[in-house]
């Protein structure tokens, strides 16, 4: 369930009123069979939606259409889909998988420029299942412990529905070791753009440092993205705690800090990434921090701040995770945007005089039963 409120000068206020509520119920059945090195995986999802602002999953860009809308009206829908469907073979040193699967690369804790395929929104609360794509995945393990991974993500052109190599992703990543640290080298072709990535992590005293550096060459310009983070765990007042802080530089972001529709229209490389769900930020400099506090062995609280350092504006989240029993978990959050009108988190201009794409406080709640 998601509840959202809107200020009086928000364009959403005119569309939905002072508040909106969206509810979703999911049934997920995970099936996996292993035999003689072979694995078959299929995850079925039945989802019911009701509310004002829900959006339905679709496979229009994917190779396989594994989503079916059973019923849909103005304020409700029932959808079934296969979120995972792949077959694979694993030997002592090699792995091959083909089909609908998820892929995660990079060391970003909040922002993930090296995670090329369906990265999570930094503000996402439920990150249990990452969206999958149709791909061929390869991995080879060396005797030294290093490994080489490769992925070819097959997509369809959004305009004509035909398979097109210009919208595919071809990526290779080498993971190795240097002293007490680890590193990755990424070479990729993403939607026709050339991508080079470097990633590293190592212990710094009792803390853990990680970072990614990604260069992307488009037909317009070459862009740099950088993320650097530090995480640390400790005990205070008898409670286990862990914290993380991260800086993110987004070279695709607006130089001027002007996020009006007219100005954004002159930054097509940024807009393409926003529309494809590869990026979630409009500016260039971001700070993020979070602390997980173990209130009891079954209950944790995590205050989090995501901040555009140039606006300045931000999003404050208070996330709680409570294990009600061995197979029932409550996940909830309070989300409060901070910033002036016209700022990224305070609400950017809508293009209509005196109206902003802004929100006030919102809540998220999810009750999960595992069986």
Work out the pLDDT band at 226, boundaries 50, 70, 90: very high
Work out the pLDDT band at 199, boundaries 50, 70, 90: very high
Query: What is the average pLDDT across 51-55?
Result: 92
pLDDT at 161 exceeding the cut of 90: no
Residue located via tokens 């079925």: 44
pLDDT at 345 exceeding the cut of 90: yes
Judge: domain 2-22+103-369, CATH 2.60.120. Answer: no
pLDDT at 301 exceeding the cut of 90: yes
pLDDT at 158 exceeding the cut of 90: no
Q: 295 Cβ partners below 8 Å, 6+ apart?
A: 239, 301
What's the rounded Cα separation, in Å, for the pair 355 and 343? 13
Work out the pLDDT band at 81, boundaries 50, 70, 90: very high
Give pLDDT tens digits for 5-20. 999 999 999 999 999 9
Query: What is the average pLDDT across 215-226?
Result: 98
Query: What is the average pLDDT across 343-356?
Result: 96
What's the rounded Cα separation, in Å, for the pair 72 and 51? 12
What is the pLDDT at residue 159? 84
pLDDT at 325 exceeding the cut of 90: yes
Give pLDDT tens digits for 87-111. 999 999 999 999 999 999 999 999 9
- For the chain, give the percent of residues with pLDDT over 70: 100
Query: What is the average pLDDT across 273-285?
Result: 97
What is the pLDDT at residue 257? 86
Supply the DSSP string of 247-287, one letter for each residue.
Answer: EEEETTS-SS----HHHHTT-HHHHHHHHHTS---SSSEEE
CA dihedral over 270, 57, 303, 109, signed as positive or negative:
negative
Work out the pLDDT band at 229, boundaries 50, 70, 90: very high
pLDDT at 223 exceeding the cut of 90: yes
Cα–Cα distances in angstroms (integers) from residue 68 to residues 55, 80, 99, 347, in the given order: 14, 5, 18, 34
pLDDT at 256 exceeding the cut of 90: no
Q: Which helix (H) or strand (E) holds 71?
A: strand 67-72
Q: Which residues of 61-79 are buried (b: 16+ CB within 10 A; e: fewer)?
A: ebbeebbeeeeeeeeebbb
Give pLDDT tens digits for 111-128. 999 999 999 999 999 999
pLDDT, mean over the chain:
97
What is the pLDDT at residue 88? 99
pLDDT at 217 exceeding the cut of 90: yes
pTM: 0.94
- Under 8 Å between Cβ of 168 and 148: no
pLDDT at 142 exceeding the cut of 90: yes
Q: 111 Cβ partners below 8 Å, 6+ apart?
A: 122, 227, 246, 248, 250, 281, 286, 288
Provide the 8-state DSSP code for 289: E
């Amino acid at each position: 369930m998601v509840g959202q409120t809107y200020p009086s000068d928000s364009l959403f206020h005119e569309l939905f009123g002072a508040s909106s509520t969206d509810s979703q119920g999911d049934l997920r059945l995970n099936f996996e069979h292993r035999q003689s090195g072979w694995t078959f995986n299929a995850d079925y999802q039945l989802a019911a939606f009701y509310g004002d602002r829900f959006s339905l999953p679709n496979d229009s860009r994917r190779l396989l259409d594994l989503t079916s809308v059973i019923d849909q009206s103005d304020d409700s829908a029932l959808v079934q889909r296969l979120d995972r469907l792949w077959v694979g073979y694993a030997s002592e040193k090699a792995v091959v998988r083909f089909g609908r699967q998820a892929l995660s690369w990079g060391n970003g804790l909040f922002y993930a420029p090296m995670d090329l395929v369906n990265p999570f929104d930094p503000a996402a609360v439920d990150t249990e299942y990452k969206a999958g794509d149709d791909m061929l995945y390869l991995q080879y393990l060396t005797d030294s412990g290093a490994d080489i991974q490769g992925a070819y993500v097959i997509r369809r052109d959004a305009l004509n529905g035909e398979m097109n190599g210009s919208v595919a992703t071809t990526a290779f990543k080498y993971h190795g070791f240097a002293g007490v640290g680890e590193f990755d080298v990424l070479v990729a072709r993403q939607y026709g753009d050339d991508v080079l990535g470097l990633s590293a992590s190592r212990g710094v005293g009792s803390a853990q440092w990680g970072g990614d550096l990604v260069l992307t060459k488009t037909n317009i310009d070459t862009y740099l993205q950088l993320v650097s983070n530090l995480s640390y765990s400790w005990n205070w007042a008898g409670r286990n705690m862990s914290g993380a802080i991260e800086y993110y530089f987004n070279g695709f972001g607006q130089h001027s800090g002007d996020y009006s529709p007219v100005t954004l229209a002159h930054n097509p490389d940024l807009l393409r990434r926003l529309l494809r769900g590869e990026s979630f930020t409009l500016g260039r400099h971001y700070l993020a921090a979070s602390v997980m506090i173990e209130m009891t062995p079954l209950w944790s609280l995590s205050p989090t701040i995501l901040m555009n350092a140039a606006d300045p504006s931000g999003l404050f989240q208070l996330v709680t995770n409570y294990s009600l029993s061995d197979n029932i978990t409550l996940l909830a959050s309070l989300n409060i945007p901070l910033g002036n009108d016209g700022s990224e988190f305070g609400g950017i201009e809508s293009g209509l005089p005196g109206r902003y794409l802004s929100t006030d406080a919102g809540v998220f709640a999810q009750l999960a039963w595992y069986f």
